[in-house]
Amino acid sequence: MIPFSPPRIDQKVIDEVTAALKSGWITTGPRTKLFEKKITEYCGCQTTVAVNSWTMGMQVLLNWWGIGEGDEVILPAYTYCASANVIVHSGATPVMVDINKEDFNISVEAIRKAITPRTKAIIAVDLAGFPCDYDQLNALVREEGIRSMFSANNEKQEQLDRILVISDAAHSFGATMNGKRSGSLTDISSFSFHAVKNLTTAEGGALCFNLPDNFDHNEIYTTFCTMILHGQNKDALAKTQKGNWRYDVEEPGFKCNMTDLQAAIGLVELERYQENLDRRKAIFEQYDAAFSIESWAITPLHTTNSKVTSYHLYQLRIAGITEEQRDAIMQLIFDQDVSVNVHFLPLPTLTAYKKRGYKMEDYPETWNKYHNEISLPVYFNLTDEQVRIVVGAVVNAVNLILG
């Protein structure tokens, strides 16, 4: 069986985690701090806070920004449930909009129509690793007409004086736009280092901050380190200094810090990340070449003059089929011992969001992309021979169904 996206765990990773275990420091400590510093350098952002998942990083972020009941947060209907779940938990209302025709990302024109005086933030998802239209999106929130509609609820929102633009960069670590890396393309970006993502720490995530100059990024870093550790103003490492045991809690915090065992994996992954990207790119090119000669294949847009993907997901689409035919094709691919996937079930198809009144028919482009989509395996250890097996399995399956 060719798996879909196994993590790259080899002796190098095992040695680094073993070294962390033997160091006597297994929770947040020197390796986490080093990992944060290296992500800041790599992404070119102002500061980075490592956390235990994308989801908890985003939850703390929405809380810090003062988002709650009565507020609206705009996001695409085409994303993983986590993007919307955090908004629900914050007490705010998720406002879903449709995606572009050309790619799988949120439509900036649809965002414009969805903005109201209650809009506090936009979560744009770099689907499959392809960056959203941040040039247009960052310009939109600064337009006079949009800006004058904005009403701040607190000091931080006043300081920004416009809608906050957040990147759901769960897929896009290493992607670039105008030569700048994901993590520095807008106000704040959130990465996921879950086991299936491009760069993994088993479970994990990071928030990268890039707010305007009137924000103090050192202060933001300190605030988040407190917020992700119960609100305690001294972490375990600081408390190991002689006599330095007393601490205070000014506000009840969350608990979602990254451990040094996770950071140990991340440091190895980051050090060899370019070779990971290079291999993924080569696999994308092989899929492009193989499917561009098939009349039924719609290959994904992943590179333009200004944008380069992180090659996270290869989202193949099959022209002229129904959702049922797509599912049947997937079954036939699995029967040939090849694992494939669908990214994603649109939010309005999930019971939790149907119950909340969202309707699939309101997002035609999302449905159009979803109903005939199949994601193919892409990972460092996938060999050229395996890529040929995947292509063969897909072609066989489609020919059987299309006849």
Ligand X SMILES: *Cc1c(COP(=O)(O)O)cnc(C)c1O
Q: In what order do the strands lie in the sheet with 297-298?
A: 297-298, 314-318, 373-376
Q: Regarding beta strands 188-192 and 205-209, do their DSSP bridges make them parallel or antiparallel, or are they unpaired?
A: antiparallel
User: Can residue 194 be called a binding residue for ligand X (CB under 6 A)?
Assistant: yes
The residue (of 107 and 232) whose beta carbon lies closer to ligand X is: 107
Token pair of 282 as six digits: 């080569």
The residue (of 129 and 162) whose beta carbon lies closer to ligand X is: 129
For ligand X, the binding residue among 5, 40, 46, 53 (CB under 6 A) is 53
For ligand X, the binding residue among 28, 32, 63, 83 (CB under 6 A) is 83
User: Can residue 134 be called a binding residue for ligand X (CB under 6 A)?
Assistant: no
Burial class (CB within 10 angstroms; exposed 0-12, middle 13-18, buried 19+) of 93: middle
As a whole number of angstroms, the distance between CA 136 and CA 66 comes to: 25
User: Can residue 125 be called a binding residue for ligand X (CB under 6 A)?
Assistant: yes
Q: Give the count of residues interacting with ligand X (CB under 6 A).
A: 14
Closest contact distance (angstroms) between CB of 204 and ligand X is 7
The residue (of 188 and 332) whose beta carbon lies closer to ligand X is: 188
Token pair of 132 as six digits: 């959203």
DSSP state for residue 205 in the 8-state scheme: E
User: Can residue 367 be called a binding residue for ligand X (CB under 6 A)?
Assistant: no
User: Can residue 314 be called a binding residue for ligand X (CB under 6 A)?
Assistant: no
User: Can residue 200 be called a binding residue for ligand X (CB under 6 A)?
Assistant: no
User: Can residue 105 be called a binding residue for ligand X (CB under 6 A)?
Assistant: no
DSSP state for residue 338 in the 8-state scheme: B
Residue type (1 letter), 171? H
The residue (of 36 and 162) whose beta carbon lies closer to ligand X is: 36
User: Can residue 75 be called a binding residue for ligand X (CB under 6 A)?
Assistant: no
The residue (of 100 and 192) whose beta carbon lies closer to ligand X is: 192
User: Can residue 170 be called a binding residue for ligand X (CB under 6 A)?
Assistant: yes
Helix or strand or coil: residue 118? coil
Closest contact distance (angstroms) between CB of 60 and ligand X is 12
User: Can residue 168 be called a binding residue for ligand X (CB under 6 A)?
Assistant: yes
Sign of the torsion formed by the C-alpha atoms of 141, 146, 147 and 149: negative
Piece of 75-83, 144-152, 285-293, 333-341 that binds ligand X (CB under 6 A): 75-83
Query: Long-range contacts made by residues 356-362, C-beta under 8 angstroms, separation at least 24?
Result: 356/88, 358/77, 358/96, 362/77, 362/96, 362/98
The helix (run of H) or strand (run of E) holding residue 219 is helix 217-227
Q: Which residues, 6 or more positions from 164, have their beta carbon under 8 angstroms from its beta carbon? A: 65, 120, 121, 122, 157, 187, 188
DSSP state for residue 124 in the 8-state scheme: E
For ligand X, the binding residue among 46, 90, 192, 257 (CB under 6 A) is 192
Instruction: Count CB-CB contacts under 10 A for residue 16.
Output: 20
User: Can residue 82 be called a binding residue for ligand X (CB under 6 A)?
Assistant: yes
User: Can residue 80 be called a binding residue for ligand X (CB under 6 A)?
Assistant: yes
Q: Under the rule (CB under 6 A), what is the footprint of ligand X? A: 53-55, 79-80, 82-83, 125, 168, 170-171, 192, 194, 205
